[in-house]
Structure 1
Amino acid sequence: MTTLMAGTPAYLTDFGRCVGALPPRAAVRTDAPTLELTGTWRFLLSPDPTRAPDGFWAPDFDDAHWAQLPVPSSWPMHGHGAPAYTNIRYPFPVDPPYLPAENPIGDHRVTFGVPAQWAGQRAVLRFDGVDSCGRVWLNGVELGVTQGSRLPVEFDATAALRPGEHNVLAVRVHQWSAGSYLEDQDMWWLPGIFRPVTLQLRPAGGIADVFVHAGFDHRTGTGTLRVQAPPGARLTAPELGLRDAPADSPHAIPGVRPWSAESPALYDLAVSTATETARLRVGFRTVAIVDGLLTVNGRRIQLRGVNRHEFHPDLGRVVPAEVVRAELELMKRHHVNAIRTSHYPPHPQVLELADELGFWLIDECDLETHGFSEVGWRGNPADDPRWRDACLDRMRRMVERDKNHPCVILWSLGNEAGTGANLAAMADWARSRDPGRPIHYEGDGDCRYVDVYSRMYASPEEVEAIGRGENPDQARRALPFILCEYAHAMGNGPGRLAEYERLFDTYPRCQGGFVWEWIDHGIRRRTADGREYFAYGGDFGESLHDGNFVIDGLVFPDRTPSPALAELAAVYAPVRLEFTGDGRLRVSNRYALRDLAGVRFDWQCAAEGEPVAHGVLAVPELAAGAATTVPLPPLPEPPAETWFTVTATTVADGPGLPAGSVLGLAQTQVRPAPPAPRPAGARVRREADGLLRLGPAVFEPRYGRLVRLGELEVAGPRLDVWRAPIDNDRLGPDPLERRWRALGLDRMTHRLRELAIDGDELVSVTRVAPAGGDLALLVTCRWSADADSLGLTATVVPLGEWSVPLPRAGMRLSVPGRLGEVEWFGGGPGEAYADSRAAVRIDRFAASVDELQTPYVYPQENGNRTAVRWARLRAPDGSGLRITGHPTVEFSARRWSSEQLDRARHTTDLVAGERVVVNLDVAQQGLGSAACGPGPAPGDVLAARPFTLSFSLRMEP
């Protein structure tokens, strides 16, 4: 028998190895002539290798009928194929190193000219990012094969180049390759040439590579500079007093300004040979682990970080430079001081900006094999010697590319790749090449080849135990501890940020962490009628996907901040302000390395949101880590509820922080609100039509419901315990939503048991219960009124043995849709919940009903305003409804019900109705982080227990 097999190119299954690549080197700008090959290329997508054209790499191949595609690009974002999202599972069989026949190919071609004067000189072709594997031809000559999607690959183009003529570059990109087994990184699978392609002249005797070592002695203030460069290279840095100095000699430079994330001082450095000059920006800093603490320049640092993927809602893996700068500046304004480059090295521009703006960076290798966990880690590349070359190559290329950036303080071996000898070898190589940076890898739970103990999603209780030294493993106890991922920011959440930060402040070895993650990876789409929404897993017909688990960021896909980012900013604030209760304010400088020079402390006293006095507090320029107390000024005592607010702001512009940026804020109540009188005095009357009238209110007797208040049609209020589940309710190992729906809390029924007149009060007793069981809630509503207002005190008692918390505890009513403007006095300006309210202050605010909504990509409960004393809903003519809490309510208003919000899967599913639905709550279940982490703290779990809610309603003409 003769066996015939269609051949698979050997490089696709060669265990992720590059072919023909030059040794890796630093990403450095030089004065060597360079051609950018970005722009419009010709492109053809073939659904599998059998349909890909032969000989497309030939210079005379006719590509006139091919599509045009920008490069860099992710080709599915331009209508070629479709994106696909998986978190853990590979979108192909786990059959390493093989791939299925259904493996799309994107063929790329571009024609370009080369100056004639390049003749006789060496040239290098560089790809900064090709997903997943590219086979490269120049003028029909094969140069090699790229592997390692998010790492640079260079090829010697000298022999194939035709200076003074037209040149044709052809690249065949395979969507999957053996390297894809190393790139299972919880993101959209988006093939393409997604980073720049450049051709660079390499002059003889030029700067092949350069490695700058710039340390700082915090005891003497001396910087040390040593540069590894080609023999005979010279250094010039006028600000450092270096002019044509030998590169290979160590230089001690007294009085340098050290680099840190808080004060990112950089010096311009030129490294020159006779034929080439490289220009770098140097930051002097020393990273060390001392007595179990991660230190920079001799001080313990605290990582207030985020995990950052590279993503754009229209361009996929391609993020324009101006967008990158804007997002890093947004991070700085929200007090993020650290970035973990999850889970691969980013575009080099990110590191340049991190140097300039000031961020501590964990630079993470392009390595994740999480999908092997689905098969019990059998065949995991991290411990298979056949993959050793590829793993080491990825580590080398990251370290060599990024070694000159002061922002990089830790090298990370990768993410969720299990354990194994290849990871240990990567750590050993990195230490030998760059001993000045510690090694991170969360998967090494035994800390055998890492220098920091790293965890994901440890609960606050576990973090506290680690901080106390209660970990039984001695190796772990001796290392700094960080949470490389915590506080999963999916949908409405995360909760408990302030709780984590308190632990990081309390226990020195607990040195902070990185919120998962920075951005929602939603892809911008439009409905047939032109309405915009963001798509997630499953929206492109994927047979295997992980839904909206890719929507888990602090900013929406268009980089609009979500409420979670405001919460994070308040928690991460570098200036802590606390009222001591004895007429003084405690001011703490939470910076590790800089003082509070240039910080202004403004105060304001406001009565029911109206300013009555203001001034500036005299606070000394506190040193890093220092604290002091200052007296408060004499304050007026107006008759209304009065709050005293102190705000710390920047006086001048700083890196990423414009003047006026808030560094800290605190409030204290000067005078409590006088008790709001409960309406009383009106008597219940039965009208001829059978309706009941109480003051300005009209009730129908069959169900005991309010139907009108003055001239205003009102439906409700009635007990409401349902909320559209948030992602933290829906997901995780034991989703609350499943238990809530099993119990029937999403389909409660109401039965009036009693309606009676008790003196001046109308009293109703209603049994509220789901079908299919005997659990219930007994609601007693006591209504009272005067000539203008209606008051309600509702008492709710659970009946039966409740085993689950309630989603919410409150009342719901609705009013005509014309009441679309809201003013309130209470917590704001944004939404807040039991375990996410650090960003709230008590003040007077205004917004439209539409503006109260948070457009989470996957619709869910949102928009709650906390501790509301009173709220007004107004029509354009000024008429409306005033709601007064006794003493406060949790308030939300929207143009759809919780049930409609629950049914929606995208924002475009929400269609405004003719009424505004208002929720007035005692509380809601806390947010937590249970989609991928701990749930709410016990004190924020809304147990089914008796509660009382009291408020009054008044129609305002």
Structure 2
Amino acid sequence: MLSSIDWENHRILHKNREKPRCTFLYRLNPCNGKWEYWPFLISLNGKWKFKWCRNFKVVPDGFYKIDYDDNTWFEIEVPSNWEIHGYGIPIYTDVKYPFSPNPPFIDKERNPAGLYRRHFTIPSSWDGKEIFLHFAGVRSAFYVYVNGICVGYSQDSCSPAEFRITDYVKIGNNTLAIEVYKWCDGSYLEDQDMWWMAGVYRDVFVYATPKLHLRDFFIKTDLDEKYQDAVLKIDMVLINYLRESSEDLCLEINVLDSENGAPVCDSILLDAGTIPPGEEKIVTIEKEIKNPLKWSSETPNLYSAEIKLFKRHNSQILESQKFNIGFRKVEIIDGQMLLNGKPIKIKGVNRHEFDPDKGYAITLDRMIQDVKLMKQYNINAVRTSHYPNDPKWYFLCDYYGLYVIDEANIEAHGMGNLLAEDPNWLEAHLDRITRMVERDKNHPSVIIWSLGNESGDGQNFVALSNWIHQRDKTRPVHYEPAGTQKYVDIVSFMYKSPKDLESFSEEIKDRPVFLCEYAHAMGNSVGNLKEYWDVIKKYKNLLGGCIWDWVDQGIRKKDKSGKEFWAYGGDFGDEPNDGNFCINGLLLPDRTPEPELSEVKKVYQYIEISPADKLGEFLITNNYSFINLNNFDCFFEIQENGLSIQRIRIGKINLEPGCSKKIQIPINEISFNENAEYHVKILFTLAKDTIWAERGYEIAWEQFSLFKKKKTFTPASAKGIELKEESERIFAGNQKMKIIFNKNSGFIESLKYMNRELLLKPLRMNFWRAPTDNDKGNKLPARAAIWRNIWEKAKVSKIKRVESDLGYKLVFEGFFKDIEKTNWELVYTISDEITVELKVNIDRHLPELPRIGIQGTFLGDFKYVSWYGRGPHENYCDRKTGAPVGLYRSTVEGMIHKYVRPQETGQRTDVRWFSISDDYGITVLVEGHPVIEFSVWPFELEDLEKANHVNELTYKNLVVVNIDHKQMGLGGDNSWGALPHPEYILFPGEYKYSFTIKVLRNFFENFQEG
């Protein structure tokens, strides 16, 4: 049964809407990087009158009429989502529909409407022209009224809707009204793991064209067998809006070099003949272009072109349109994807269009920020998950150089295969595919078409693929639910482990294998990214992947006290909701890079550096597909104990793509201290400014250990150390330092230096971490709950005292109450420093441990941190490839990352030593034997664990110090069950580590000497 209401009838997709076409209203000029707009265009962005209605029943009669009184209406900014302005609430769900699913019907009582009104002026210079309204994006369905008359209807939230309004407007003042519905039958195809928000969220224009108009064109480029010379083919659609035939029409096309504006070939002239009234005509040109510069993400060469439509007999120019051309060829040969004859790898991300203050109304500045960040972090591709993006995004990708997997606005995730198999829904699917392809077909950055996302598999998708292959033979088609079926050109998977990916690559040889989603970046995640790329680089048919996803979808909100936080599902009283499952980004909502992004940059880098046979000899491999390494400056840096002691410019290395060469670094000329540790870091920086980063920006690096210092032991002074024992405690120390041990727990419960207490809480065993989102997803908090607050379960069974020239040694042997077959030993060697050794033996039947370490709470005065280990950003055992060993300084607050949902944060690995210091010259120095992990927080573990948002995390006047042997990995294959890889899990067994604590005065005054 079909509804009489348009917005719940899947057979009614539009009324009076123009056919789709390519974007021609603006372009990004490749010559100067400036935007150029159609000369007969008026933006209708800005303030509109607005009224929100809870459903269609309360929409006021005649609100669209010219004389309707809207003085009581509020104003709203267009483009925007109305929920951002407080009208209704945003709802976040992953799969569940926010209404009771019964396609194509919508719960009419709960379907809000937004009414918009504004006036606009048609200038007299537009008299005699055709006039159109252009809506770049309206969610989800809307009616358009001009001067009190209904002009049309459209749905599909992410593709332009244009209406010819020539017969409805007049020169001078006109009234425009829009009636927008939050949900419609099309919403069943927009279940896209994002906030459900509504409104006019992209640009609105009114524009005019001549009566004889170049309505559309399709640019195709092909390359010869040597990938040198090109054939340019342009199919052009002319339309005649006149009431009589138009004769004697000609077209002239000029292709210009973007550097100097010079023609790259002779003008192309074409006779367009006669076009009957009200009809269209397709005319085609083909032209050979000798050896044009090719377009790729590495070399985004664009040419500027112009089409002129004119009358042959008098050379009168009727219309002129400018556009960009990128010469490139996409192929799949022997299961490998080639661009311009060269293999490429997709080093990509998935990107939702999202802004924390504007919802899905993305500004041009925000787009530029995104594309520059992607380039800076070695990302070369973006999947427009899960819908066509704002048209301006594609011009930026063309210009800056990003590959685009352009995805149709189709996701019926909550419906399974139902709509994919229903022939009655074919037109609804096909409408979205055709509008995407027709709009974006001329962008060289678009190298893959995606049929949509997670909408099941069925005959409708076979039909969609067939249509694309018939319309555009220059690009392959991807659709993950299709699996290995022949209607797709790329076999795609989601969230497969590196091991599984390797198996698939060996089974599937005829097509590229692609991870359209992988490395789920929810919260503190993206472990084992290197392991993925070790596999991807190994197999030719592995195309690469797109990390899920680019930016956390958190909405800026304030609590009752005025503190800001990032809101996620449920924070607006929205039901149903999926909580913080929208917080999966490599960036915070405001585009602050998260620590994972540094790992991505390192793993995605194109230059491979490895040690060769001789000392100081290194093999450099250029893994770019199109550029020589002479675009970069190469340096090497020698570090002694983490400090740079020498940095020398090697210069530019002339190395073609796919080639390797050895370089020699004069290691033998360096004088090494046998009591120091040395590293060499080889790095590459931009040799000149680019449009996305300045000269000197580091693009690739690798670090190698040269010499490790000899293991030496200098006994600390034990002079003056006294030991005293009471019933519950043991006292040890000298005039400077005094320590109290608890005989029941074995922990240090007091540490005084010069009679000043440094500890607020004991140095005690800690095997727990504030669960990450991945931990929650794999049920670690329940499975490993036995390790929570382990210090409360630690009981001493035996104490031994040993006295020697090196000081006193206290040995506490113990067990964990209510945990069978476990034991531990804490050994303290006391002199004018404290050496701590922890041994634990955990029975094999017990669950894995989140961490093994000792935690202490120090005075809040110790607000400065230094360390010699990996940094500067946080790093973990399975996410440390992008963190070089060095000497770093920070503050306690600077050591943590403020994840949208607070969780484990701030770890540093491979740490030789770290210190915390105060303003009075007192430093607590901790040295690993040989290395440890550590973190410091200005709050306590229980605070971190119970907070749901950053505003709930209270910073206290204390410093929590975690001195860890190890912490388990983060994982990231997915966030709903996958564990970290086995090599990064702390399985039950025997563990042992040690470190030394020293309390020093004026440590940093002699920092260089020390």
1:160 aligns to 2:183 (yes or no): no
1:288 aligns to 2:306 (yes or no): no
Q: 1:726 corresponds to which residue?
A: 772
Displacement after TM superposition at 1:16 (Å): 6.0
1:943 aligns to 2:987 (yes or no): yes
Partner SS, residue 887 of structure 1: strand
Mapping for residues 373-452 of structure 1, pairs under 5 Å: 373=416, 377=417, 380-452=418-490
Instruction: Give, as a single letter, the amino acid of the residue that structure 2 aligns with 1:672.
Output: K
Deviations 1:338-390 (A, max 9, x none): 111000000011100000010111000000000113xxx4xx22221221111
1:139 aligns to 2:132 (yes or no): no
Whether the aligned pair in 1 keeps the contact of 2:106 and 2:185 (CA below 8 Å) is yes
1:620 aligns to 2:665 (yes or no): no
Q: 2:672 corresponds to which residue?
A: 637
Whether the aligned pair in 2 keeps the contact of 1:22 and 1:154 (CA below 8 Å) is yes
1:867 aligns to 2:915 (yes or no): no
Instruction: Give, as a single letter, the amino acid of the residue that structure 1 aligns with 2:184.
Output: S
Partner SS, residue 793 of structure 2: strand
Q: 1:197 corresponds to which residue?
A: 204
Partner SS, residue 931 of structure 2: strand
CA distance in 2 between counterparts of 1:141 and 1:291 reads 57
Deviations 1:644-688 (A, max 9, x none): 111111111224232112221111122213436375563551078
1:751 aligns to 2:795 (yes or no): yes
Whether the aligned pair in 2 keeps the contact of 1:761 and 1:783 (CA below 8 Å) is yes
1:255 aligns to 2:291 (yes or no): yes
CA distance in 2 between counterparts of 1:628 and 1:15 reads 62
CA distance in 1 between counterparts of 2:584 and 2:892 reads 25
Instruction: Give, as a single letter, the amino acid of the residue that structure 1 aligns with 2:769.
Output: R
Q: 1:891 corresponds to which residue?
A: 934
Note closer, same or farther for the CA distance 1:542–1:15 as it changes in structure 2 (3 Å cut): farther
Give the fraction of aligned pairs with identical amino acids, expressed as a percent. Answer: 33
Q: 1:235 corresponds to which residue?
A: 253
Structure-2-length-normalised TM-score: 0.90
Whether the aligned pair in 2 keeps the contact of 1:697 and 1:790 (CA below 8 Å) is no
Partner SS, residue 557 of structure 1: coil
Instruction: Give, as a single letter, the amino acid of the residue that structure 2 aligns with 1:238.
Output: L
Greater Cα offset, 45-54 or 30-39:
30-39
1:650 aligns to 2:698 (yes or no): no
Mapping for residues 54-203 of structure 1, pairs under 5 Å: 54-100=61-107, 101-164=109-172, 166-203=173-210
Q: 1:356 corresponds to which residue?
A: 399
Whether the aligned pair in 2 keeps the contact of 1:613 and 1:636 (CA below 8 Å) is no
Instruction: Give, as a single letter, the amino acid of the residue that structure 1 aligns with 2:264.
Output: G
**Candidates 736, 741, 744, aligned match of 2:785:** 741
**Candidates 9, 13, 36, aligned match of 1:13:** 9
Structure 1, unaligned stretches of length 5 or more? Answer: none
Whether the aligned pair in 2 keeps the contact of 1:832 and 1:865 (CA below 8 Å) is yes
CA distance in 2 between counterparts of 1:776 and 1:53 reads 74
Whether the aligned pair in 1 keeps the contact of 2:836 and 2:996 (CA below 8 Å) is yes
Whether the aligned pair in 2 keeps the contact of 1:484 and 1:514 (CA below 8 Å) is yes
Displacement after TM superposition at 1:747 (Å): 8.3
CA distance in 1 between counterparts of 2:16 and 2:149 reads 12
Structure-1-length-normalised TM-score: 0.95
Greater Cα offset, 841-850 or 218-227:
218-227
Displacement after TM superposition at 1:801 (Å): 4.0
CA distance in 1 between counterparts of 2:124 and 2:994 reads 84
CA distance in 2 between counterparts of 1:804 and 1:748 reads 18
**Candidates 9, 25, 30, aligned match of 1:29:** 25
Whether the aligned pair in 2 keeps the contact of 1:119 and 1:163 (CA below 8 Å) is yes
Deviations 1:731-756 (A, max 9, x none): 1xx42222123775678522222333
Greater Cα offset, 736-745 or 575-584:
736-745
Whether the aligned pair in 2 keeps the contact of 1:685 and 1:692 (CA below 8 Å) is yes
Deviations 1:87-112 (A, max 9, x none): 01111111000000211111111111
Partner SS, residue 208 of structure 1: strand
CA distance in 2 between counterparts of 1:404 and 1:531 reads 46
Deviations 1:259-306 (A, max 9, x none): 001100001111121322111111000001111111110011100000
Note closer, same or farther for the CA distance 1:15–1:953 as it changes in structure 2 (3 Å cut): farther
Whether the aligned pair in 2 keeps the contact of 1:112 and 1:168 (CA below 8 Å) is yes
CA distance in 1 between counterparts of 2:714 and 2:990 reads 22
Deviations 1:456-511 (A, max 9, x none): 011111111122x2x3xxxx431111100000011111111101111111100011
Partner SS, residue 900 of structure 1: helix
CA distance in 1 between counterparts of 2:93 and 2:997 reads 50
Q: 2:367 corresponds to which residue?
A: 324
1:528 aligns to 2:551 (yes or no): no
CA distance in 2 between counterparts of 1:279 and 1:636 reads 63
Displacement after TM superposition at 1:311 (Å): 0.1
Whether the aligned pair in 2 keeps the contact of 1:871 and 1:882 (CA below 8 Å) is yes
Deviations 1:174-231 (A, max 9, x none): 0110000010000000101000111111211121111111233361511221111246
Whether the aligned pair in 1 keeps the contact of 2:610 and 2:620 (CA below 8 Å) is yes
CA distance in 2 between counterparts of 1:701 and 1:463 reads 52
Whether the aligned pair in 2 keeps the contact of 1:709 and 1:955 (CA below 8 Å) is no
Note closer, same or farther for the CA distance 1:466–1:410 as it changes in structure 2 (3 Å cut): same
Displacement after TM superposition at 1:67 (Å): 0.8
1:716 aligns to 2:762 (yes or no): yes
Whether the aligned pair in 2 keeps the contact of 1:217 and 1:297 (CA below 8 Å) is no
Mapping for residues 570-649 of structure 1, pairs under 5 Å: 570-580=602-612, 582-583=614-615, 584-617=617-650, 620-634=653-667, 635-638=670-673, 639-649=675-685
1:537 aligns to 2:569 (yes or no): yes
Displacement after TM superposition at 1:608 (Å): 1.3
Q: 2:532 corresponds to which residue?
A: 500
Q: 1:842 corresponds to which residue?
A: 885
Partner SS, residue 123 of structure 1: strand
Note closer, same or farther for the CA distance 1:73–1:692 as it changes in structure 2 (3 Å cut): same
Instruction: Give, as a single letter, the amino acid of the residue that structure 2 aligns with 1:504.
Output: I
CA distance in 2 between counterparts of 1:950 and 1:218 reads 64
Q: 2:1006 corresponds to which residue?
A: none
CA distance in 1 between counterparts of 2:731 and 2:320 reads 90
The alignment yields a C-alpha RMSD, in angstroms, of: 2.0
Q: 1:784 corresponds to which residue?
A: 829
Deviations 1:568-602 (A, max 9, x none): 00000111111236321111111112221221111
Whether the aligned pair in 1 keeps the contact of 2:634 and 2:653 (CA below 8 Å) is no
Partner SS, residue 550 of structure 1: coil
Q: 2:811 corresponds to which residue?
A: 763
Whether the aligned pair in 2 keeps the contact of 1:26 and 1:400 (CA below 8 Å) is yes
Partner SS, residue 597 of structure 1: helix
Q: 2:315 corresponds to which residue?
A: none
Instruction: Give, as a single letter, the amino acid of the residue that structure 2 aligns with 1:173.
Output: V
Whether the aligned pair in 2 keeps the contact of 1:15 and 1:97 (CA below 8 Å) is no
CA distance in 2 between counterparts of 1:745 and 1:701 reads 17
Deviations 1:832-884 (A, max 9, x none): 11110111111110000000000000100011011111111011222121111
Note closer, same or farther for the CA distance 1:748–1:392 as it changes in structure 2 (3 Å cut): farther
CA distance in 2 between counterparts of 1:220 and 1:90 reads 48
Whether the aligned pair in 1 keeps the contact of 2:925 and 2:999 (CA below 8 Å) is yes
Displacement after TM superposition at 1:399 (Å): 0.4
Aligned residues: 934
CA distance in 1 between counterparts of 2:471 and 2:639 reads 59
Note closer, same or farther for the CA distance 1:619–1:506 as it changes in structure 2 (3 Å cut): farther
CA distance in 1 between counterparts of 2:983 and 2:411 reads 37
Whether the aligned pair in 1 keeps the contact of 2:928 and 2:996 (CA below 8 Å) is yes
Note closer, same or farther for the CA distance 1:243–1:618 as it changes in structure 2 (3 Å cut): closer
Instruction: Give, as a single letter, the amino acid of the residue that structure 1 aligns with 2:824.
Output: V
Instruction: Give, as a single letter, the amino acid of the residue that structure 2 aligns with 1:808.
Output: R
